[in-house]
Structure formats: C-alpha cells, structure tokens
Structure 1
Amino acid sequence: MSSDLTIRAIAAAETYPLRHQVLWPDESIEYIKLNQDDQGHHFGAFHNAKLVSVISLFIDGNVARFRKFATRPDCQGQGIGSQLLRHVLDVAREKGAQRIWCDARAQNENFYRAFGLEPEGNRFYRGTIPYMRMAKDL
C-alpha cells in the first residue's frame, strides 16, 4: 500500500457505516452498534482521505479485545487491514495490555495467525457464520 494511508483515532459513530456494509449488511444499523462503544478506542485507516477500514479496541485491566474489524471489500488484500491491526496491537501494548483477543470469523483464521493469534476453545456461530476466539500474549 502506498504512503497515502493514514491511521488515526475516530469516533465510534464513524465506524458504523463500514461495520454495517462489511460485517452485517443484512441486519439493521442498530445491530452493529456495541453497548460498550463509548468505552472503546476506535481507529480508522484512510486511503486518499476516504475511510476504508475500521477497528475498535476495548481494554479491561491488562486484557484487550478488538472487535468490529472491517475493511471495505474493494480495499481488502492490499495490506490496509494488516497495518490497522498492527497499529491496534501497538496501542494495546502502550496502554498496558498483556494479552489481546478477538472473536474471529473462522474464514479469517489464517489472517490472524499471521499476527501470532492462536485459536482458543471451540468454534461457535453467530447466525450461520462460524467464529472462533483467537488470542495472544503481547
């Protein structure tokens, strides 16, 4: 990806359109909002000043969790999400987290493994979509 990628903190509400479009397009916009959004750290990756990827980080003590990680379909496979995830791992470390985890869609397991996250526990489903918890020490 060229150097015209910017990653910065954004408001929770700025994540909603991409969360909806990429993760749950058949659900209502309310479905993609989290009760804890006001306690999270939300980040966006901007390519040519357009928001193309979002992620939300929640820290509880020394454990961090990232959620609602979404990259616009036409921008996937270009390293944008990887840069955004690396940024969030760094922020979690800076904020004192010693472990990080997520509920990953099973189809994305190899992506997360590339960052050192490993599956924990059994596969589970949200609707018809298989997920697995993945985690690593920071």
Structure 2
Amino acid sequence: MVQIEQIYPSLTWRIRQETMYPDQSLDFVKLEDDFDGIHFGLYVNHHLTGVVSLFQNEHNYQFRKLAILPHQQGKGFGTALLNYILNFCKIQNATSIWCNARVNAKEFYAKFDFSEMNQTFTKNEIHYLIMELQF
C-alpha cells in the first residue's frame, strides 16, 4: 500500500540524509527555509520511504530534496511522488515548477517534460542543472 501525505519538515531529514548525503550529519540536510515549505512523504506499508519539499514564490514552485530510500529506488516511488506534487501545483494554479537537478538525474525529469534551463552549477562536488516545467 502506497500513500502520500503532507508531513512535518523534520520528518524529511532522515530520508534526505540517508539517501542523498549518507556521509554527512543530519544538520547538513536541513534547509534554512524548511519551515516555510510544504513537505510530502510517501509511505509504503506505513513506512516513510520517500520525501520531497516544495517552496512557493507567487505562482512558481520549486521542489527540493526529492529522495527515495536507496533500497526502495527503482520501484516507481519517485515517479509517484513527482506526479503528486505536479498535480498539487496544477490545483494551486501554478505557472511553473522547477528544480536544481543533479546532472545524472536529468533524464528522469525529462520524462515529465521538464526542460533544461542552460544554467549549471556545482555544490559540494555535485553537478546540477536547473530544470523547469511550464503549466
């Protein structure tokens, strides 16, 4: 059974840390504006398995820290979570949604019609590019 619901920011931190930065402390994955965002958790059989954080700026949204536990990846949970927030943004009358995508994940976002914005950067030795979807 898979369920997605809004969660507290603090519930995202363990999943972020374990999935994205396993060699870093829990404090490393906390975002300065976490308490200004909307956070969603994907539960598999009542176990928190994936998270994503969404931040609004007028009619534009940015999602950050989409993370699925490593042993649960490749099962469609990332797709389910991304579809959920895309539908959420449409209901909110968003005009666009964007993310700082890891370069090695750009094909995943391209499947959802995200476009590369020709802006790249490196942070903590990880290469990113900005990808956006217009509604």
TM-score where L is the length of structure 1: 0.94
The amino acid across from 2:95 in the alignment is Q
2-side partners of 1:136 and 1:63: how far apart?
10
Match of 2:59 among 59, 62, 75: 62
The percentage of aligned residue pairs carrying the same residue is 33
Partner of 2:34: 37
Please state whether the residue corresponding to 2:85 is helix, strand or coil: helix
How much has 1:30 moved relative to structure 2? 1.2
Q: Runs of at least 4 residues of structure 1 off by over 3 A?
A: none
1:105-116 matches, within 5 Å, as 105-116=102-113
Please list the CA deviations of residues 33-74 of structure 1 after superposition, one character each: whole Å capped at 9, or x if unmatched.
111111111001100110111000111101100001100111
Partner of 2:15: 18
Q: Residue 137 in 1 paired to residue 127 in 2?
A: no
- Structure 1: gaps spanning 5 or more residues: none
2-side partners of 1:122 and 1:57: how far apart?
20
CA RMSD of aligned residues (A): 0.9
Q: Residue 88 in 1 paired to residue 114 in 2?
A: no
2-side partners of 1:16 and 1:96: how far apart?
28
TM-score where L is the length of structure 2: 0.96
- Structure 2: gaps spanning 5 or more residues: none
2-side partners of 1:127 and 1:116: how far apart?
27
Partner of 1:102: 99
How many residues are treated as equivalent by the alignment?
135
Query: Are 1:59 and 1:92, in contact at CA under 8 Å, matched by a contact in 2?
Result: no
